[in-house]
Amino acid sequence: MPKSILIADDDKLFLDVLTFEFEKRNAPLQWITVEDGEHTIKLLTEHKPDMLILDLRMPNLDGFAVLEHMQKHHSSVPVVIVTHFHDEEHQKKSEQYGVKAYLVKSDWHISQLAEEIERLLEGKE
């Protein structure tokens, strides 16, 4: 059974490009995309994904509100932050929630992001 990823980001273009990259790589993954924090929490409960790829800036609830919820209800789901925030404050705050990786979008090519996500999903940290 393929692993499942919930990708939460309000940047529709980023969602499309990342899911296209997974398709192009024939990655044995299932993914669900969501564009706001409120629906992210709902889909975490409904689908129980193997990983969450999370942006920090989203409508309704931001990524930190999602992380706070996850700490209480979905602590076994690994989280990869993929964001535009390049500052140490956001990174340290994310690490306090136990995220597996903090990736800055501008520092990675989309194929590198996909490789890193697949590597983390396989448990090769």
Distance CA 38, CA 63 (A): 10
Distance CA 13, CA 34 (A): 12
| Residue 80 contacts residue 99 (beta carbons within 8 Å) | yes
Instruction: Encode pLDDT of 102-112 as tens digits.
Output: 999 888 888 88
For residue 82, what are the domain limits? 3-121
The residue that leads in pLDDT, 30 or 38, is 38
| Residue 91 contacts residue 82 (beta carbons within 8 Å) | no
Distance CA 85, CA 77 (A): 22
Distance CA 76, CA 90 (A): 22
Instruction: Encode pLDDT of 37-93 as tens digits.
Output: 999 999 999 988 999 999 999 999 999 999 999 998 877 889 999 999 999 999 999
**CATH code for the domain in which residue 96 is found:** 3.40.50.2300
How many domains would you assign to the chain? 1
Distance CA 101, CA 5 (A): 15
